[in-house]
Structure 1
Amino acid sequence: MTDDRGPVFDGIRIGRPATGALVDAGYRTVADLPSDLEQLLSLHGVGPKAVLLLRQARVD
């Protein structure tokens, strides 16, 4: 993944603010994310919908 701040993070359309927050925090792929995705809610720009979409992507 590039450092693009578009609405898609590692193939998941979570929105531009959430993507930017994850990239700024050093995450580049879903595999990089913490096991407890709820921790991401502390990042400005990441909301419950983004966490839900990321959780669903992990299951798929």
Structure 2
Amino acid sequence: MTAPIDRIADCLKLSRPAHAALAHAGIATFADLTQWTRKAVADLHGIGPKSFVELDPAMAERGLGYKSP
């Protein structure tokens, strides 16, 4: 198991636009991602449904979740 501070870019194979969207929003680690609602992440330009196929299981594996709305 890995730590929640893992860098997303080092752990997941997201599309280039998805990585760029997360970086532009200041989301570099899974811990950063916990400060966002799932909807707010989905609303980022470059994040699509396929991104969540990678993000959701990775968050769950680390015992983390998105911020509640």
Q: Unaligned 5+ residue runs, structure 1?
A: 2-7
Query: Superposition pairs for residues 6-45 of structure 1, below 5 Å?
Result: 9-33=9-33, 34=35, 36-45=37-46
Q: Specify whether residues 35 and 27 from structure 1 end up closer, same or farther in structure 2 by C-alpha distance, changes over 3 A only.
A: closer
Please report the TM-score for the alignment, with normalisation by the length of structure 2: 0.65
1:40·1:46 contact (CA, 8 Å) conserved in 2? Answer: yes
Sequence identity of aligned pairs in percent? 37
Q: Matched residue pairs, number?
A: 54
Larger relative strand fraction: 1
Question: Higher relative contact order at CA 8 Å, sep ≥6: structure 1 or structure 2?
Answer: 2
Q: Spell out structure 1 runs of 4+ moving beyond 3 A.
A: none
Q: Unaligned 5+ residue runs, structure 2?
A: 1-6, 62-69
Q: Specify whether residues 38 and 10 from structure 1 end up closer, same or farther in structure 2 by C-alpha distance, changes over 3 A only.
A: farther
1:14·1:53 contact (CA, 8 Å) conserved in 2? Answer: yes
